Amino acid sequence: MSNRTLTFSIFRYNPATPEIKPRMQDFQLDETADMSVFIALNRLREEQDPSLMFDFVCRAAVCGSCAMLINGRPRLACKTLIKDLPEHITLMPLPVFKLIGDLSVDTGTWFHDLNIRTETWIHTDKNFDPKAVEERMDNPTALEIYEAERCIECGCCIAACATANIRADFIGAAGLNRIARFLIDPRDQRTPAQIFEVVGTDEGIFGCIGLMACDDLCPLELPLQSQLAFVRRKMGLAALKSKRN
Amino acid sequence: MKWQEVHITDVLVIGAGLAGERVAIEAAMHGHETTILSLVPPRRSHSTAAQGGMQASLANVAMGYGDNADIHFEDTVKGSDWGAEQDVVRRFVNLAPIAVRQLAHWGVPWTRVVPGKKTLPSGTEIEDLAEKEGLIAQRAFGGTAKWRTCYAADGTGHVLQYAMDSVVVKLGVTVHDRMEAVSLIHDGENCYGCIARCLRSGRLRAYLAKATVIATGGYGRIYGTSTNAVINEGTGMAIALDTGVVPLGNMEAVQFHPTGIVPTNILVTEGCRGDGGYLLDKNLHRFMPDYEPAKKELASRDVVSRRMTYHIRQGFGVESPYGPHLWLDIRHLGPEHIHTNLREVASICKNFLDIDPVDSLIPVVPTQHYSMGGVRTNKDGDAYGLKGLFAAGESACWDLHGFNRLGGNSLAETVVMGMVVGMRVAEYVREAPLNFTPRLVSDAAAKQEARIEALLSNKQGEEYVYELRRRMEETLLENVGIFRDHAKLEHAVEVLKDLHARSYRIRLRSNGLGPNPEVGAALRLPGMLKLALCIAYGALKRTESRGSHYREDYPQRDDTNWLKRTLAYWPEGAELPELKYEPVTIIELPPGERGYGETVRSTGVTMGE
Ligand SMILES: Cc1cc2nc3c(=O)[nH]c(=O)nc-3n(C[C@H](O)[C@H](O)[C@H](O)COP(=O)(O)OP(=O)(O)OC[C@H]3O[C@@H](n4cnc5c(N)ncnc54)[C@H](O)[C@@H]3O)c2cc1C
Ligand code: FES
């Protein structure tokens, strides 16, 4: 284990003091074994500057709270190990999302809006019968839904997306992956044509210009590229059908 | 308090985990205006981290055939070491299958039954029947007679929370995230809502409601080293305790989970052992069968955690810079099983240990995991002491789990209790008027404003919030852990009393403006220390061993004197909680052998002899 002294350049801004302009601030910290950016930030806050704002919840790469730009790349800070980084580490808040302060951004509101716009709940006219046995589903289908359901809404794909950075209303890879999840699910009775109404626009599937940074940067390594292709194919077919009708 | 800083609603739910959202859904479906507060967006709540699954006696898989509510009942009561309320358990086991199926209806991709012959890691052959194909599957968990834990790969909590939240979104329930409840508004008889601090602006807000529900999850973080999320600080329990009239139940019952990974304490699911994983010591010896020939690694969590700690104390731990640990071995389950049913485990190992469990052993040690104690409620979820106050989920003591919760019973509890309490709240709100005196609201707000002012003026003293907090965490871990005794507990109580007094003399090291996190930490700390004292003092007074509460100086369960629940009250200005006791409801199953570890205790032989 090398005895490195790390320098963290961290973006600072407190909305309560708008007269102090956003700026970068440097901190020094000695590296310890198995240190992650999560551990480093907590040490900085407890030992050097208790006003430092950043978000963590699970610290285990399952909740999606801690995404930030680490040396320019959107990543989950809790699963980024310092040993994989150079001595000088720059931390910036994710772009696209509204800034709350320092490294903390409002991904929650963004995803809430997305979920309303894309109506990401099961649409069905069946009522739940508490006395009945569950409806059957074959296991490969269940696993396929699970696969598409794994997104943790961290926002890395959105922050990395060229379109999302210029169009505030683009639903991005996370949004399209969410659509894929409902297209796969036999319980959702929406037809592709109905979904096309929602995403067959430039804010939806046609906004993607195919740079695929989302796919490279997804911390969960979700197969975003194939999910995008899947939605695009379904939507293409739905569009053709509606033209013919 | 200015009126634009007041929000009025029928039902106020504090907490957006599975329990809080399930309550809110029920209330909203009954047509009541419902508002949820949460520290974080709902989908980031700790419920999403649950991996293993949710118990419900569906009897769909070979090893679950013949399962029913009665067997689930018996397992739960034994698991609780007879500390559970049996009428609550009965209601719970009857409703769990409905809850699981309703979640399927809401979109949860439960893993399903695939028929055919299978060989278990133990060599036993089983056959899943074609007639069950496509029904919801179950896996084994500790302390259960049948395979009963429904799961979605090992991301069960994630899919449950997302499905639940999608219903919340669909119903248009109001959610205010980054909003922290800091005190309840009450007059000693009725609860009228809460005062909250906005974590975006740092400003205070009043929430007024006919019914207020605490669903804020566990308090693992007061132990520092815990499998819990960093937001699980027990503040919901603390604000209930602060009223002086609402008691917390069984706070001394703190669960340690056998498999937190070393050094980060991130949990790997009990599903690992359920699916056939073993525990090994430094000699790569599988030691659990020596202690628990019948249940082996699948005895209940309190038992396995104690056996592990005992084994380490005997010198069989693997040395590491973070102290001795043991190994979890799942290699024999094979890459296919690991990369489908235990894929989250595989990614945790990859991300945080840089190993692949397909060919490497996982370093594990028992870690603080679950709080059985919480806001004491009756079987409908009404909190003791204040009308219009309810609680649900891990922050409540309903009391389903007694002194030890079975794996898979908490997710099930959040959803079942959410449903039950939601119905109760809906009914309550229909009758209840929304009457409050403006004076009460402004007084409650002024009190919190004064605390913040005092911090900002920096004249209270010299104490540093993070230093006090670290001392609290260490004190609990060292003295109020898996093995307890009089001397350690007495020491802990003294230290915590001192820290509690000092927590009112904090000086900020930063300017404290806006959403400043140091202010948040300073506001929370006295409440956390009160919880710590309820745990340590309750444990000191309980001179027996029951479930997760193990006294080396009183190693036996003592039903003659202690078949009762601790209620901890905090009178205003007190330096210690006031403890009262109430009997446990026993309606079906009289106290007896648990069937694991129990024999050792009832013959009077303590571990180590
Ligand atoms: C790693 C891990 C794995 C687990 N796996 C399983 C499993 O496989 N099976 C099982 O049955 N159980 C499991 N459990 C236990 C189970 O996940 C939890 O007990 C359960 O999810 C708790 O749900 P909850 O709704 O009560 O609380 P949480 O999900 O913790 O939600 C608490 C909510 O309250 C909010 N909140 C907290 N304080 C405040 C405040 N002051 N003001 C406003 N909002 C507040 C938070 O923002 C959050 O939304 C696991 C637990 C852990 C730690
Ligand atoms: S803190 Fe949950 S993903 Fe990093």
Q: Is B46 on the interface with A (CB under 8 A)?
A: yes
* Ligand 1 pocket test, candidate residues B13, B22, B37, B39, most atoms within 8 A of CB: B39
Write out pLDDT tens, residues B59-97: 999 999 999 999 999 999 999 999 999 999 999 999 999
Q: Is B323 on the interface with A (CB under 8 A)?
A: no
Average pLDDT taken over every residue of chain B: 94
Q: What is the pLDDT of residue B600?
A: 43
The finding on whether B50 has its CB within 6 A of some atom of ligand 1 is: yes
Q: What is the pLDDT of residue B172?
A: 95
The finding on whether A42 has its CB within 6 A of some atom of ligand 2 is: no
Are B135 and A136 an interchain contact pair (Cβ–Cβ within 8 Å)? yes
DSSP B53: -
Q: How crowded is the C-beta side of B522, counted as CA atoms within 13 Å?
A: 30
Query: How far lies A32's CA from each of B130, B271, B479, in Å?
Result: 55, 32, 27
Q: Is residue A209's pLDDT more than 90?
A: no
Give residue B208 CA to ligand 2 midpoint distance, Å. 32
Average the pLDDT over A84-93 and give the result. 97
Are A58 and B109 an interchain contact pair (Cβ–Cβ within 8 Å)? no
Reference B272, options B360, B82, B142, B370; nearest CA is B142
Q: What is the pLDDT of residue B604?
A: 37
Write out pLDDT tens, residues A124-159: 999 999 999 999 999 999 999 999 999 999 999 999
The finding on whether B46 has its CB within 6 A of some atom of ligand 1 is: yes
- The region that residue A163 occupies, defined by phi over 0 for left and psi between -120 and 50 for alpha, beta otherwise, is alpha
Give residue B371 CA to ligand 1 midpoint distance, Å. 10
Tell me the torsion sign for CA atoms B549, B553, B556, B557: negative
Q: What is the pLDDT of residue B363?
A: 96
Ligand 2 atom with the smallest distance to the CA of A152 is 3
Are B169 and A146 an interchain contact pair (Cβ–Cβ within 8 Å)? no
**Which residues of B fall within a CB distance of 8 Å from A134?**
58, 100-101, 104, 110, 135-136
Q: Is residue B545's pLDDT more than 60?
A: yes
Q: What is the pLDDT of residue A15?
A: 93
- A65 vs B44, B135, B511: nearest CB: B44
B211-229 burial code (b ≥16 CB/10 A, e <16): bbbbbbbbbbbbbbbbbbb
DSSP A92: E
Q: What is the pLDDT of residue B608?
A: 36
Q: What is the pLDDT of residue A228?
A: 83
- A53 vs B106, B466, B517: nearest CB: B517
Cβ contacts of B473-480, under 8 Å, gap ≥ 24 = B473/B222, B473/B223, B473/B224, B473/B225, B474/B224, B475/B499, B475/B532, B476/B222, B476/B223, B476/B224, B476/B532, B476/B535, B476/B536, B477/B223, B477/B224, B477/B225, B477/B368, B479/B536, B480/B254, B480/B532, B480/B535, B480/B536, B480/B539
Chain B 118-137, CB below 8 Å of chain A: which residues?
133-137
Q: What is the pLDDT of residue A242?
A: 66
Q: Is residue B603's pLDDT more than 90?
A: no
Provide the terminal-to-terminal Cα distance of chain A, rounded to the nearest Å: 67
Give Cβ neighbours of residue A70 (< 8 Å, ≥ 6 apart).
A37, A77, A80, A85, A89, A90, A91
CA distance A81 to chain B (A): 8
Are B348 and A51 an interchain contact pair (Cβ–Cβ within 8 Å)? no
Distance CA B51, CA A61 (A): 13
Chain A 99-118, CB below 8 Å of chain B: which residues?
100-101, 104, 106-109, 111-112, 115-116
**Which residues of A fall within a CB distance of 8 Å from B266?**
59-60
User: What amino acid occupies position B148?
Assistant: R
Average the pLDDT over B330-338 and give the result. 94
Distance CA B533, CA B519 (A): 22
Ligand 2 atom with the smallest distance to the CA of A57 is 1
**Which residues of B fall within a CB distance of 8 Å from A14?**
513-516
Token pair for B212: 């207020």
Bridge pairing between strands A67-70 and A23-30? unpaired
The more confident residue out of B322 and A28 is A28
The pLDDT confidence band at residue A1, using thresholds 50, 70 and 90, is: low
Q: Is A18 on the interface with B (CB under 8 A)?
A: no
Ligand 1 atom with the smallest distance to the CA of B412 is 11
Partner residues linked to B582 by β-bridges: B565
Write out pLDDT tens, residues A30-76: 998 889 999 999 999 999 999 999 999 999 999 999 999 999 999 99
Q: Which residue blocks in B432-504 are alpha helix, DSSP H?
A: 438-457, 465-479, 486-502
CA distance B136 to chain A (A): 8
Q: Is residue B598's pLDDT more than 60?
A: no
Query: How far lies B576's CA from each of A179, B26, B240, B568, in Å?
Result: 54, 38, 16, 9
DSSP A12: E
Token pair for B274: 């359920």
Helix, coil or strand: residue B119: strand
The finding on whether A78 has its CB within 6 A of some atom of ligand 2 is: yes
Distance CA B232, CA B226 (A): 10
Q: What is the pLDDT of residue A207?
A: 78
Residue matched to tokens 């044509």 = A193
Q: Is residue A108's pLDDT more than 80?
A: yes
CA distance A64 to chain B (A): 7
The finding on whether B181 has its CB within 6 A of some atom of ligand 1 is: yes
**Which residues of B fall within a CB distance of 8 Å from A138?**
112, 133-134
Q: What is the pLDDT of residue B2?
A: 66
Reference A73, options A170, A167, A156, A12; nearest CA is A156
Give Cβ neighbours of residue B524 (< 8 Å, ≥ 6 apart).
B233, B235, B238
Chain B's closest residue to A100, CA to CA, is B200
Q: What is the pLDDT of residue A218?
A: 94
Residue matched to tokens 């007694």 = B402
Residue nearest to atom 14 of ligand 1 (CA): B50
Are B48 and A187 an interchain contact pair (Cβ–Cβ within 8 Å)? no
Distance CA B516, CA A16 (A): 9
Chain centroid offset of residue B540 CA: 22
The pLDDT confidence band at residue B288, using thresholds 50, 70 and 90, is: very high
Q: Is residue A2's pLDDT more than 70?
A: no
Give Cβ neighbours of residue B384 (< 8 Å, ≥ 6 apart).
B246, B247, B376, B377, B378, B567
Q: What is the pLDDT of residue B449?
A: 95
Q: Is A16 on the interface with B (CB under 8 A)?
A: yes
Average the pLDDT over B187-197 and give the result. 97
Average the pLDDT over A228-245 and give the result. 74
CA distance B144 to chain A (A): 22
Helix, coil or strand: residue B105: helix
Residue matched to tokens 């700690």 = B309
Distance CA B310, CA B597 (A): 13
Chain B 221-240, CB below 8 Å of chain A: which residues?
229-231
A32-43 burial code (b ≥16 CB/10 A, e <16): eebbbbbbbbbe
